Amino acid sequence: MVVNKTEHRKSNFIRTHIITKIFEKSYKAREITNVPHNSFLYFDEMIRIKNGRINQNINRFGKGGLHGKNEILPLPWSAFSGIQLYTALNYIKERKFYINKEIDGKFYKTRIKPKCETHSNT
């Protein structure tokens, strides 16, 4: 099988771009909710990963990457397909997540209000 190097570089560029956007959007979400930058973003819906030996449900994004349910360490980025990465990015962009925020020694689920769509008459 012959691999086109241009297509391979293009694919890596797109994956890298999506991963970068995931980090940027999550950083902004943490800033808005005023929580530490090592806090987790818990997704409303899990992302199913079934790739070789990895069979996980991804339920959160942390400082280092995407984490499986009840897992301590993040999964390697190579375990995710482009669609799975894009799904994670969309969950963050569409604010389909919550953050546990500590207030007076208790943790509360905190959500960012959904974006309001503005309609202009022009």
Domain range for 25? 5-110
If you count them, how many residues does the chain have? 122
The pLDDT assigned to 97 comes to: 93
Can you say how many angstroms the Cα of residue 7 is from the centroid of all Cα atoms in its chain?
Answer: 25
Q: pTM of the full predicted structure?
A: 0.78
Distance CA 101, CA 105 (A): 10
| Positive/negative CA dihedral, 22, 23, 26, 32 | negative
Q: Where are the beta strands (DSSP E) in 38-120?
A: 41-51, 54-61, 66-68, 97-103, 106-110
Q: Would you say residue 116 lies in a domain?
A: no
Question: Model confidence at 2, in pLDDT bands (50, 70, 90)?
Answer: very low
> Could you tell me the two tokens for 61?
């994004």
* Confidence band, pLDDT 50/70/90 cuts, at residue 115: low
Return the CA Rg of the chain.
Answer: 17
Q: Name the domain count of the chain.
A: 1
Is residue 68 domain-resident?
yes
Q: Is residue 120 part of a domain?
A: no
Two tokens, residue 68: 């499986």
pLDDT tens digits for 27-85?
Answer: 998 888 888 888 899 999 999 988 777 778 999 999 889 999 989 999 999 889 889 99
Residue 65 forms part of a structural domain: yes
